[in-house]
Amino acid sequence: MKTLIVGTGGVGGYFGGRLAVAGHDVTFIARGAHKEAIEKKGLQVKSINGDFSVEQVKVTDKISEVETPELVIIAVKAWQVKDIARQLKPIIDEKTMVLPLQNGVLASDEIKEFLPAKNVLSGLCRIISKIDAPGKINHLAVDPTIVFGECDSSQTQRVLNLQKIFEEAGFKARVSKDIQADLWRKFLAICVSGLLGVTRSTYGEVREQKETRQMMRNLFEEIAMLAKALKINLEPDLVDKTIAFIDTFPYNSTSSLTRDVWEGKPSELEYQNGTVVKLAEKAGVDVPVNRFVYYSLLLMEKRARKKTN
């Protein structure tokens, strides 16, 4: 399958790399030193599931140079999605599938502002990975998985075929029967990233101290309450399941949002705790812990964005 990976970071580098190793025609979008290293030495992936590398990689920093793909995986930060969708418009055709894997619950709707709805899928991924150095991806934790589907959760042939392609490439894939519920399950879990940012702590540190563990639980319970108000079908014990899942993360691990906050970079704050706060205001739901996290980080987020403008 002719595939375009937009964003060759921890997510795009891993899943795109697996597809390339499996023999698919993959083009990667990368920039700067990362692009140069991939051009010269290929893409190297260190993984808890086994290291691998891709030689003679197709890589460019210009979407406009790419031939029409059958599949586009968007693996950039959430705030970059709209601009990417705008750039994709000239290179896709009516059969191109566009699959966003962003954190949050807004990506597919944002893409549809620029691309035909028939092209757009909805999805999420589970993986803890990052760029270690130019041309080098490190998969640190969590069994890599893509959960995806049509935006209305219909079981079409194209998504069933795509599931098979993903599985044959060597990672888990599941066509969702309720993609909104799946997006919100992950959304609930990732919003603890802001709490890690505020406390400047790892998953292990936050979960072992009873006070911050309780804050984590309260943060999750607020999001579950919001989801219920929005008629999202989540299981009653999701908070307990999420905490149990986070208890399996390596002690010193963090999230991309947390690392961005610590390093003074723009983060996905608006698409995580910020989204909770704004949706809760519209729904009339009180979310004090998420509000605390959001406004505690907001001034730092504004400073980081001023630096990049």
Residue pLDDT, tens place only, 213-226: 999 999 999 999 99
Instruction: Tell me if residue 300 falls in helix, strand or coil.
Output: helix
| Cβ(49)–Cβ(144) below 8 Å | yes
| Cβ(70)–Cβ(1) below 8 Å | yes
**307 band by pLDDT with thresholds 50, 70 and 90:** confident
Q: Which residues contact 299 (CB under 8 A, 6 or more apart)?
A: none
- Segment 161-181 mean pLDDT: 95
The Cα–Cα gap between 297 and 193 comes to 11
pLDDT score recorded for residue 128: 84
Backbone angles phi, psi at 28, to 5 degrees: -105, 140
Q: Taking the model in full, what pTM does it have?
A: 0.87
Calculate the alpha carbon distances from 285 to 159, 195, 290 in Å: 35, 20, 11
- The per-residue pLDDT for range 97-123, each reduced to its tens digit, is 999 999 889 899 999 999 999 999 999
CATH number of 3-177: 3.40.50.720
Two tokens, residue 32 = 């700067």
- The per-residue pLDDT for range 219-271, each reduced to its tens digit, is 999 999 999 999 999 999 999 999 999 999 889 988 889 999 999 999 999 99
3-177 and 183-304 in the same fold: no
Instruction: Order the strands of the 58-60 sheet from edge to edge.
Output: 58-60, 26-29, 3-6, 71-74, 97-100
The Cα–Cα gap between 73 and 101 comes to 7
- Residue 165 in this model has a pLDDT that exceeds 90: yes
What's the mean pLDDT when you consider all of the chain?
94
Strands (E), the chain: 3-6, 26-29, 43-47, 52-54, 58-60, 71-74, 97-100, 121-133, 136-150, 172-175
Domain ranges of the chain: 3-177, 183-304
Two tokens, residue 128 = 């803890």
Pick the CATH number of 183-304 from 3.30.530.20, 3.90.660.10, 1.10.1040.10, 2.30.33.40: 1.10.1040.10
- The per-residue pLDDT for range 62-103, each reduced to its tens digit, is 999 999 999 999 999 888 999 999 999 999 999 999 999 998
